[in-house]
Chains A and B, each alone.
Chain A
């Protein structure tokens, strides 16, 4: 079974501080991990995926298979990063994408 856990429903940090949104997963196969973001009044959209190993808007995420984690990080938070963030798990042979509960990130000025 696929399962994703985001332990923090709410996260609040000050502008310029580092940000880490936690994501842990459970999957018996080879996982594919994603971070999706929903800004206020916008559609849910893909932020990044682990297979691309890219940095989007200063965010990075590394898949740690040993710890079954895919934490999202940014060294210096900006006010425009305030949004709802979802970690999602797919994988080879998986037809569906399973989402975590989401973390609402608020960046304080």
Chain B
């Protein structure tokens, strides 16, 4: 049971570079999310998706983009990396809306922008 798979686990970027964080889930969940985790700040929602072709902004979307062409995949794109984007990124999925539903998390991507 793979669950939610994120790649890469670690990455170092130079300022201005771009990259895509991959996330895929095999549970046929409609809802997928991207969070970033900063020390002492908890998890902040970047973007989320309620199904293929539908995405919406979370609390901290600036500097990021997402797409959801399939139910399984929800990649997160950083176009012009900045030091403020140094963080640990978590992808998560749930069967339906988060109101009362359990989230399944990936193992995280530790990103450093230097």
Identify the A interface with B (CB < 8 A).
4, 6, 9, 32, 34, 36, 43-46, 49, 51, 86, 90-102
Contacts and interface: CB of A to CB of B under 8 A. Distances in A.
A92 to B, nearest CB: 5
Contacts of A86: 42-43
A46 B41 CA distance: 19
Interface in B68-94: 90, 92
B90 A9 contact: no
Contact of A98 (B45, B102, B107): B45
Give the bracket for the number of chain B residues in contact with chain A: 20 to 34
A101 B40 contact: yes
B53 interface: no
Contact of B99 (A9, A44, A90, A101): A90
Contacts of A99: 35, 42-44
B43 A94 contact: no
Nearest to A50: B100
Shortest 9 CB-CB contacts between residues of A and residues of B: A99-B43, A101-B42, A97-B98, A44-B105, A90-B99, A32-B100, A90-B98, A99-B42, A46-B102
Given A44-B90, A45-B105, A91 B99 contact: yes
A8 B41 CA distance: 12
A93 B98 CA distance: 9
A88 to B, nearest CB: 8
A100 B42 contact: yes
17 contacts: A6-B42, A32-B99, A32-B100, A43-B108, A44-B90, A44-B105, A46-B103, A86-B43, A92-B99, A94-B98, A96-B45, A96-B58, A97-B98, A97-B103, A98-B45, A99-B43, A102-B42
B42 A43 contact: no
